[in-house]
Chain A
Amino acid sequence: MGFLFEDDNFALFRDGFLQTIELSALSALLALLLGTLLAAFRVSPAPVLRAFGTAWVTIFRNTPLTLLFFAVEFGLPALGVHFEHLTFATLALGGYTASFVCEVLRSGINTVPLGQAEAARSLGMTFGQTLTLVVLPQAARTVLAPMSSVFIALPRNSAIAGAFSIGELYSAQQTFSDRGYSIFSIFFWVACAYLVISATVATLFRFLESRLAVAR
Chain B
Amino acid sequence: MSTLFSRASTASVLYDAPGPKARARYRLFGVLSLIAIAGLIWYAITMLTDNGQFDAGLWDVFQYNTIQQRILDGLISTLEAFGLAALFSLTLGALLAAGQLSDHKPVRWVCVSFVQFFRAMPLLILIVALYYAFFAKEPMWALVLGLTLYNGSVQAEIIRSGVNAVPRGQGEAAYALGMRKTQVMAGILVPQAVRSMLPTMIGQLVVTLKDTSLGFIITYHELLFVGKAIASQPMNAAGFPYIPVVLIIGPIYVAMCLLLTALARWIEARGRRGANRRTSASA
Contact = CB atoms under 8 A, between A and B. Distances in A.
Contacts of B110: none
B217 A66 contact: yes
Nearest to A186: B129
Which of the listed residues B26, B125, B210, B231 has the most CB atoms from chain A within 10 Å of its own CB?
Answer: B125
Contacts of A187: 125, 129, 133
Interface residues of B, number: 52
Q: Of B12, B120, B121, B214, which is in contact with the most chain A CB atoms at under 10 Å from its CB? A: B120
Contacts of B33: 46, 48-49, 52
B30 A47 contact: yes
B14 A78 contact: no
Contacts of B11: 45
B228 interface: yes
Contacts of B47: 79-80
A152 to B, nearest CB: 8
Given A67-B249, A170-B125, A177 B132 contact: yes
Nearest to A135: B14
Given A59-B254, A64-B213, A114-B13, A156 B243 contact: no
A78 B129 contact: no
A156 B121 CA distance: 7
A212 to B, nearest CB: 21
Given A67-B249, A183-B132, A46 B123 contact: no
Interface string A35-72: 00000000101111100100000110111111100110
Contacts of B15: 45, 121, 127, 130
Contacts of A127: 14-15
B210 A70 contact: no
B14 A80 contact: no
A121 B18 CA distance: 12
Contacts of A12: none
A65 B250 CA distance: 11
A75 interface: yes
Contacts, number: 151
Contacts of B167: none
Contact of B254 (A63, A156, A195): A63
A71 B249 CA distance: 10
Interface in A157-207: 157-160, 162-163, 169-170, 173-174, 177, 183-184, 186-187, 190-191, 194-195, 198-199
A64 B117 CA distance: 23
B178 interface: no
B186 interface: no
B239 interface: yes
A63 B210 contact: yes
Interface in A1-32: none
B14 A70 contact: no
Given A170-B125, A194-B125, A58 B14 contact: no
A46 B26 contact: yes
B62 interface: no
Contacts of A170: 122, 124-125, 128
Contact of B122 (A49, A58, A159): A159
A66 B224 contact: yes
In the A-B complex, the 10 residue pairs with the smallest Cβ-Cβ separation, listed nearest first, are A62-B257, A64-B213, A159-B122, A66-B213, A74-B242, A64-B210, A156-B122, A187-B129, A159-B124, A62-B254
24 contacts: A43-B14, A62-B254, A62-B257, A64-B212, A64-B213, A66-B216, A66-B217, A66-B224, A67-B246, A67-B249, A74-B246, A75-B246, A79-B47, A109-B14, A112-B13, A117-B13, A118-B13, A156-B122, A156-B123, A159-B122, A159-B124, A174-B128, A183-B132, A184-B133
Given A43-B12, A158-B122, 18 more contacts: A45-B15, A49-B33, A62-B258, A64-B212, A66-B217, A74-B240, A78-B53, A80-B51, A109-B14, A114-B13, A135-B13, A156-B123, A159-B125, A160-B124, A162-B124, A183-B132, A184-B129, A191-B125
